Every structure is written in structure tokens, then in C-alpha cells.
């Protein structure tokens, strides 16, 4: 097995996240999100805008890729500059460092539900060198977001582990959300959508699948260890509630604040 890839620096991560978000916008993927809560340095209320010196240090550039991709959704850079790109159809493409070509479709990706907005979603390189990715998973009651990790060996995923599943699974093919953001303490945030269960009336839905119900992971941000267990020791690891379809997530440098 090849040596696991290393996670990129924050500067590269920020640029790469920007490229991924631009790509999502170009694909017409709508994003509607909600606020969050927390404690200590996690609290959204403690966040401050970047000052001019910080803003200047995080500038980057946009590169248009020439590789032929099928509805790309997420992107992660490997240590050697090559890219892993998730495609809605359930494929994961290994793209050359110059973006000119797809070197291979990665083997070992689990079956995904491609109904509606479902498919293979976010992909990220973890601080442990494993590849983390989210996807729509079919099961009893419908489908839901799942989080898996694996090691990349050549052009295949090995030692695949599905480490987290959204509960409950529900009917319909919308609002999977599913962005991954790593904290600097070796844990992660996972932002997942409400799967279309809300009726847009403005009233909080506290039913079994409601986004304000603390007994499910519909429309939530969860805080997890790298093995998928709740980082706070609770039953579900819920960090914030009431989200619609989060399509972007990043941890502010020098803190564990989730943006």
C-alpha cells in the first residue's frame, strides 16, 4: 500500500475550497443554510471579520480544468498536486496535477443513490491521510447522507469504513448537504441537509424528522471524531440544528470556529 497522503496546508485548503464552491455555483447547486451554536471558541457569535492583512494573506487564483468530468461535486488535493474529484454519478476521478486529464476513475467507491440531488458528494483528505467522503445512501425508509473514509492505494480505495449515517433515512432526493470540515484538534464537523422534510412555512418542525428535533440528524451539523463517533460523548454529537442544505464549511485558522 502506498504511503497515505498528507493533508494540505490551510492556504491551499482555502484556495481549494474556493474553487470547489465556485464549481458548485457553476453547476447550479442551490445552497440554503442556517446558523449554529456551540461553546467556547466554537461560538459563532465570537467570530470577527478578517482584517485587511489577513484578507491579503488568503488571496488565491482560479484555474479552469480541462479534464472531462461528469457533474463534479467535490474536490480534494493530494500531496503531489493531483486531485480527487467526486462526480454525482458515483464515480471518483483522479485528475492530473495540471488539471488536463482524468488519469483514472478510482475503484472501491460504495454504491450511491443518485436520485434527485443525490450522488457522490464531498471529498476531503483528513489529517490522518485517509480520504473522507460523503454520499447519498439508500436504505430502509428512503435515503440519507453517509460519511465514509478509506485509504488511497494507487487508483483504488482500500480499507473502506462507513463511519457515520444520517438518521432517519427519508423519502425524496433533495438536500443532502454534506460538507466536511476538519478542526485542528483531530476532529471534524459534518454539515448535513434536512432532506426536504421542512414545508417552508417558517414554523419549526419538531416532529420525528424535524430539523429542530435533537433526536435525529436531519438538518444538523455534527461534531465527530475521525472514526465517526460523537466527539462530545453524546449520543448523536449534534453541534447545531436547523440547517436546510449546507453546501460550504470551513474552519477558521488559529481556532476551531466553523464558518
Closest CA relative to residue 195, chosen from 241, 161, 144: 144
Question: Of 16, 175, 223, 243, which is the active-site residue?
Answer: 175
The residues pairing with 77 across neighbouring beta strands, listed in sequence order, are: 83
Dump strand ranges (E) for 154-214: 156-165, 177-182, 187-192
Q: Give the separation between CA 202 and CA 187, rounded to whole angstroms.
A: 33
Q: Give the separation between CA 58 and CA 22, rounded to whole angstroms.
A: 16
- Do residues 237 and 214 touch, judged by C-beta distance below 8 A? no
> How many C-beta atoms surround the C-beta of residue 225 within 10 A?
16
Residue 175 annotated to the active site: yes
- Who's near 163: CB < 8 A, 6+ residues apart? 147, 148, 149, 224, 226, 227, 228
Catalytically active residues, by annotation: 175
Amino acid at each position: 500500500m502506498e504511503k497515505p497522503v498528507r493533508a494540505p496546508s490551510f492556504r491551499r485548503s482555502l484556495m481549494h475550497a474556493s474553487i470547489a464552491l465556485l464549481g458548485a455555483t457553476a453547476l447550479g447547486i442551490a445552497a440554503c443554510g442556517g446558523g449554529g451554536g456551540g461553546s467556547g471558541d466554537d461560538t459563532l457569535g465570537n467570530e470577527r471579520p478578517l482584517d485587511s492583512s489577513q484578507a491579503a494573506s488568503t488571496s488565491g487564483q482560479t484555474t479552469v480544468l480541462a479534464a472531462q468530468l461528469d457533474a463534479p461535486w467535490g474536490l480534494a488535493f493530494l500531496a503531489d498536486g493531483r486531485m480527487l474529484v467526486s462526480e454525482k454519478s458515483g464515480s471518483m476521478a483522479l485528475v492530473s496535477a495540471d488539471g488536463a486529464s482524468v488519469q483514472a476513475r478510482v475503484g472501491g467507491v460504495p454504491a450511491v443513490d443518485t436520485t434527485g440531488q443525490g450522488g457522490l458528494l464531498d471529498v476531503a483528505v483528513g489529517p490522518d491521510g485517509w480520504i473522507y467522503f460523503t454520499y447519498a445512501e439508500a436504505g430502509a425508509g428512503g435515503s440519507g447522507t453517509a460519511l465514509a473514509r478509506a485509504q488511497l492505494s494507487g487508483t483504488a480505495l482500500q480499507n473502506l469504513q462507513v463511519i457515520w449515517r444520517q438518521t432517519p433515512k427519508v423519502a425524496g432526493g433533495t438536500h443532502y448537504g454534506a460538507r466536511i470540515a476538519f478542526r485542528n484538534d483531530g476532529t471534524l464537523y459534518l454539515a448535513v441537509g434536512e432532506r426536504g422534510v421542512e414545508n417552508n412555512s417558517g414554523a419549526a418542525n419538531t416532529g420525528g424528522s424535524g430539523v429542530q428535533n435533537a433526536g435525529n440528524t436531519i438538518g444538523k451539523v455534527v461534531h465527530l471524531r475521525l472514526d465517526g463517533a460523537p466527539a462530545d460523548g453524546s449520543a448523536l454529537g449534534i453541534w447545531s440544528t436547523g440547517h436546510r442544505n449546507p453546501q460550504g464549511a470551513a474552519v477558521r485558522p488559529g481556532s476551531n470556529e466553523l464558518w
